[in-house]
C-alpha cells in the first residue's frame, strides 16, 4: 500500500468524523482556523516526503508552509516573512542546485549543438524521425514539444529536459524502457508513459517554476 494513500485516506477519515460530529451537534470544531490555507502546502509536501525519491524540493515546500502557518497564527511577524520569502526561496533553490545528488543509474553525457533545442519566450514543436542518441530540450519562458514517437531509439538513449518558467512535453515511442530522474523545484514532472522494451531511455528532468510531461 502506498504511503501517500494512507496519508490522504486518514485525512479524509478525519474530515468525515469532524463533519459528522458537527452535523450531530456533538462537537463544534472549526476547521477554518487562521492559516488553514497553508495546509494545501504542508500536506502535499509531507506526502511527497513519504513517496518521492528526491525529497529536497518537498522539504523546501514544507518549511515554507510551516513559516506561513506560523506567520498566519501571529507567532512570527508576517511583514518580516514577506520581506524574506523571496531571498529565502532563492537561497534554497541555489542550495538544491549546488548539492544536487547524482544518480548512479544515469551516466553523464555530452550534447552537441545540433542535438540541442531551446525555446525562449515562444512555442515550438520538434519532431524527430531518425536515430537519436543524446538529446537536450529546454524551455525558458516558453513551451516545447519534443516528439520522438517515430524516432529510432538506440539501446541506450539519454535525454536531458529543462523547464524554467516554461513547459516541455516529451512524446516517446512505444517499446522502450524508461527511467526518469526528476528534480522539481517549485515545478512538476509528470510521467504517464507505460511502455516497456529492450531499449532504455534515460530522462533527466529539471523543472524550476515550470513543468515537464513525459508521455
pLDDT in tens, 171-202: 999 888 899 888 887 778 889 998 888 888 99
Kindly state whether residues 146 and 65 are assigned to the same domain. no
Kindly state whether residues 208 and 117 are assigned to the same domain. yes
- In angstroms, the CA 93 to CA 67 distance is 17
By the 8 A CB rule, do 191 and 145 touch? no
Kindly state whether residues 73 and 37 are assigned to the same domain. yes
Q: Is residue 37 part of a domain?
A: yes
For the segment 76-95, what is each residue's pLDDT rounded down to a tens digit?
A: 887 777 777 778 777 777 76
Kindly state whether residues 132 and 69 are assigned to the same domain. no
Q: Is residue 183 part of a domain?
A: yes
The residue with cell 509528470 is 190
Tally: H helices and E strands in the chain: 4, 10
101: pLDDT confidence band, cut at 50, 70 and 90? low
Which are the contacts of 82, defined by CB distance < 8 A and separation ≥ 6? none
- In angstroms, the CA 175 to CA 142 distance is 30
By the 8 A CB rule, do 164 and 186 touch? no
Domain region containing 165: 113-214
Q: At which of 67, 98, 129 does a domain end?
A: 98
Does the structure show a pLDDT above 70 at 112?
Answer: no
Kindly state whether residues 93 and 121 are assigned to the same domain. no
Domain count, the chain: 2
pLDDT of residue 171: 93
By the 8 A CB rule, do 180 and 191 touch? yes
Q: Is residue 50 part of a domain?
A: yes
Q: At which of 44, 73, 98 does a domain end?
A: 98
For the segment 5-60, what is each residue's pLDDT rounded down to a tens digit?
A: 676 778 788 888 888 888 888 888 777 778 888 888 888 777 777 765 556 667 77
Kindly state whether residues 36 and 86 are assigned to the same domain. yes
Q: What is the 3-state secondary structure (H, E, C) of 41-55?
A: HHHHHHHHHHHCCCC
Kindly state whether residues 122 and 204 are assigned to the same domain. yes
Amino acid at each position: 500500500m502506498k504511503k501517500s494513500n494512507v496519508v490522504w485516506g486518514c485525512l479524509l477519515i478525519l474530515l468525515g468524523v469532524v463533519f459528522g460530529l458537527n452535523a450531530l451537534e456533538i462537537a463544534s470544531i472549526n476547521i477554518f482556523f487562521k492559516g488553514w490555507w497553508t495546509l494545501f502546502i504542508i500536506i502535499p509536501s509531507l506526502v511527497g516526503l513519504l513517496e518521492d525519491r528526491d525529497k529536497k524540493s518537498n522539504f523546501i515546500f514544507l518549511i515554507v508552509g510551516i513559516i506561513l502557518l506560523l506567520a498566519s497564527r501571529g507567532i512570527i511577524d508576517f511583514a518580516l516573512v514577506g520581506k524574506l520569502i523571496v531571498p529565502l526561496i532563492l537561497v534554497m533553490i541555489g542550495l538544491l542546485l549546488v548539492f544536487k545528488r547524482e544518480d548512479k543509474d544515469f551516466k553523464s553525457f555530452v550534447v552537441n549543438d545540433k542535438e540541442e533545442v531551446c525555446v525562449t519566450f515562444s512555442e515550438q514543436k520538434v519532431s524527430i524521425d531518425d536515430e537519436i542518441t543524446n538529446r537536450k530540450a529546454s524551455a525558458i519562458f516558453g513551451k516545447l514539444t519534443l516528439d520522438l514517437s517515430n524516432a529510432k531509439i538506440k539501446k541506450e538513449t539519454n535525454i536531458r529536459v529543462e523547464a524554467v518558467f516554461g513547459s516541455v512535453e516529451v512524446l516517446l515511442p512505444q517499446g522502450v524502457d524508461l527511467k526518469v530522474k526528476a528534480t522539481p523545484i517549485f515545478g512538476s514532472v509528470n510521467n504517464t508513459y507505460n511502455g516497456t522494451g529492450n531499449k532504455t531511455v534515460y530522462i533527466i528532468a529539471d523543472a524550476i517554476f515550470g513543468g515537464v510531461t513525459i508521455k
